[in-house]
């Protein structure tokens, strides 16, 4: 019973730190960084096709279907396979909530729109799935990573490094503002950690 209050306190501290970092970035760093990387970002645009969200989500759905079929045929799957399935489900759910709820709620235009004259500001309930905050790619990747971080402590640093690289590419490629990747990373990791904790509790029964 002590574990939950400790985790809750850690999450609240992380929430406060990430909120402050995202707010500072939104106010002081987002637009200057987008302008600085604007001429560089076009060289990364070929990555749009192989790493598009639809392709990643389709691959995750295929993994889940394969694992479900394996479970039906064999009667069981390994713990790693179970964690993989939970990670994929957490990733898909986090992306869906972000695209259909969070992005429309915050309504922040993406870097391309801002650099072509749109206001870098909150437009509450006036956004769309194409809005900028939070980053959908960071939500889906961080949620996936969060589940593995919960079950396999040795994966924390390697996955954190990969998330940092992904965040850097999203900013340098002018797909997202810095505040977008900060918010998306925190929310995604939170979703993954919650899903992992829920599955761990299920296994404990």
Domain at 22, CATH number: 1.20.144
User: Model confidence at 67, in pLDDT bands (50, 70, 90)?
Assistant: very high
Residue 2 lies in a domain: no
Average pLDDT over residues 125-136: 95
Residue 96 scores a pLDDT above 60: yes
Residue 112 lies in a domain: yes
Q: What is the pLDDT, as a whole number, of residue 78?
A: 94
Average pLDDT over residues 82-98: 97
When divided into structural domains, the chain yields a total of 1
Residue 28 lies in a domain: yes
Residue 120 lies in a domain: yes
Distances (CA, A) of 87 to 5, 83, 101, 185: 24, 6, 21, 15
* Helix, strand, coil % over all residues of the chain, rounded to 5: 80, 0, 20
Residue 13 lies in a domain: no
Q: What is the pLDDT, as a whole number, of residue 127?
A: 94
pTM of this prediction? 0.92
Residue 6 lies in a domain: no
Residue 191 lies in a domain: yes
Question: Can you give the residue range of the structural domain that contains 163?
Answer: 18-204
Residue 10 lies in a domain: no
Share the mean pLDDT of the chain.
93
Residue 43 scores a pLDDT above 80: no
């Amino acid at each position: 019973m002590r574990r939950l209050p400790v985790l809750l306190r850690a999450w609240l501290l992380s929430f406060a730190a990430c909120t402050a970092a995202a707010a500072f970035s939104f106010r002081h760093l987002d637009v200057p960084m987008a302008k600085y990387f604007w001429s560089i970002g076009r060289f990364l645009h070929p990555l749009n096709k192989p790493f598009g969200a639809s392709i990643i989500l389709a691959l995750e759905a295929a993994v889940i279907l394969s694992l479900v079929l394996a479970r039906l045929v064999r009667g069981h799957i390994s713990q790693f396979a179970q964690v993989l399935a939970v990670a994929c489900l957490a990733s898909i759910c986090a992306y869906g909530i972000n695209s259909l709820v969070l992005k429309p709620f915050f309504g922040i235009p993406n870097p391309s729109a801002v650099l072509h004259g749109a206001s870098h500001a909150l437009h509450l309930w006036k956004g769309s799935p194409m809005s900028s905050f939070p980053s959908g790619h960071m939500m889906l990747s961080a949620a996936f990573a969060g589940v593995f971080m919960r079950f396999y402590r040795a994966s924390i640093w390697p996955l954190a490094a990969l998330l940092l690289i992904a965040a850097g590419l999203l900013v340098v490629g002018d797909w997202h503002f810095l505040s977008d990747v900060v918010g998306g990373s925190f929310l995604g990791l939170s979703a993954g950690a919650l899903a992992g904790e829920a599955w761990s509790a299920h296994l404990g029964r």
